[in-house]
């Protein structure tokens, strides 16, 4: 338990940040899952639309720092894009 006023404030700030980061991470996973579901359904146009909607969201989360690493986001985007291109080919 935090004993000093400064430690109490830091504990509150850390909890607030933890909840915000969890929300952002969940949102990113939801967008990635929408793209994956569209790819598995075989609908190329839906997959492209879901991918276009997901990219700015997960890029913004990577730029904030601390929520998802930039390389992880880039890896997800790359793998999804490869799957979408394979569908349309």
What CATH code would you report for 5-88?
A: 1.20.58.110
**Spatial contact of 72 and 43, defined as CB atoms under 8 Å apart:** no
The yes-or-no verdict on residue 85 having pLDDT over 90 is: yes
The yes-or-no verdict on residue 41 having pLDDT over 90 is: yes
pLDDT, tens only, 50-77:
999 999 999 999 998 779 999 999 999 9
Per-residue pLDDT at 31: 97
Where b means 16+ CB within 10 Å and e means fewer, 24-55 reads beeebeebbebbbebbeeeeeeebbebbeebb
Of 25, 6, 28, nearest to 17 by C-alpha is 25
Q: Please state, rounded to an integer, the average pLDDT across all residues of the chain.
A: 94
- pTM across the whole model: 0.86
């Amino acid at each position: 338990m935090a004993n000093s006023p400064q430690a109490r404030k830091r504990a509150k700030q850390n909890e607030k940040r933890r909840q915000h980061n969890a929300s952002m991470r969940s949102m990113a996973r939801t967008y990635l899952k929408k793209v994956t579901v569209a790819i598995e359904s075989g609908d190329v146009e839906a997959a492209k639309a879901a991918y276009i909607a997901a990219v700015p969201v997960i890029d913004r989360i990577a730029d904030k720092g601390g929520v998802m690493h930039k390389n992880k986001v880039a890896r997800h985007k790359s793998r999804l894009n490869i799957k979408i291109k394979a569908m349309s080919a």
